[in-house]
Amino acid sequence: MLGNEPVLAPDETFYQRLLANDPEEAIEQAEEFFKERSLAELFDDVALPALVRAQLDSDKGALSPERRLLFREGIRALLEDIAEGEAAATIAEHSTPPMLREATGIVCVAGRNELDEAAASLLVHLLRAEHSVDTADALPAEALTSDRYRSALERASVLCLSLVSTNSPVRARYLIRRLSRRAPHAKILVGFWRMDPGELTAAAAAIAQPNTAAVTSLREVIISLQSDLSTDREAVPAAPAIRVTAVG
């Protein structure tokens, strides 16, 4: 009977709609969720779990690389819709078009694939909304190997490594080494998105090195960066606003 059908959780419904290449329905659902919850909750509790579910299906061979693109493009469509909203429009009035910045700042780096890039885009948008700072769109994962983006990494004071594609500390250590060589003085935040707290303890221990920390949610990144920004303000009272660049 219809009444006995299980009710899907918001992230499951969001996942199904993106999988069906129906971003309009996914956006409509997100808008309903956003009426009663914060932007951070929408991203952390709906969008990120959908990306994690997509990666699990990809690992099983049930989701092709081509279909992973549906999720990246669906997230882009969602962010564009949010940016057109009244609150985001107010922030956008004081921002500049997406571009690589000359200023040192925060760089969000996707670890491997389109799903990592989509998660990095969520983080960039949240940073823009929470801190009202200029930011660039997330760049493709090739930025870790391409000289095209080398200067953006070298100037970074904080690197946020976005990982949906793997929970492997070995893979994370490899990426951290690459990032550290290009930005040896930068703080590195590794986003093991939605990882179980028990697993995070082991992962954090495996990647432990100076100026490196592991997080599981976008909200944790915001909290960590707020602390850094507060310290910076105390040290330099008239410091200019930090600019945010995303590398995916």
pLDDT in tens, 77-115: 999 999 887 454 554 455 443 433 433 478 899 999 999
User: Which of 9-13, 133-137, 170-174, 221-225 shows the lowest per-residue confidence on average (mean pLDDT)?
Assistant: 133-137
What is the full DSSP assignment across 83-120? HTSHHHHHHHTT---S---SS-EEEEEE-SSHHHHHHH
**Which DSSP helix (H) or strand (E) runs through 200?**
helix 197-206
Whole-angstrom Cα distance, residue 114 to residue 123? 14
Burial track 86-107 (b if 16+ CB lie within 10 A, e otherwise):
eebeeeeeeeeeeeebeebbbb
Confidence (pLDDT) at 84: 87
Pairing state between β 105-110 and 243-247: parallel
CA 150 to chain CA centroid, nearest Å: 20
In the predicted model, is pLDDT for residue 242 greater than 60?
Answer: no
Whole-angstrom Cα distance, residue 72 to residue 121? 9
pLDDT in tens, 169-210: 999 999 999 889 888 888 999 999 999 988 999 999 999 988
- Pure H helices in 132-196: 150-154, 169-182
Cβ–Cβ < 8 Å for 179, 155: no
Confidence (pLDDT) at 20: 95
Confidence (pLDDT) at 189: 93
DSSP letter at 135 equals: B
Mean pLDDT of the chain: 82
Other Cβ atoms within 10 Å of 248 Cβ, number:
29
Whole-angstrom Cα distance, residue 24 to residue 128? 24
**Which DSSP helix (H) or strand (E) runs through 227?**
helix 218-235
Q: Which two tokens stand for residue 142?
A: 């090739």
Q: Which residues contact 176 (CB under 8 A, 6 or more apart)?
A: 161, 188, 190, 207, 209, 212
Domain range list for the chain: 9-247
pLDDT in tens, 46-83: 999 999 999 999 999 999 999 999 999 999 999 999 98
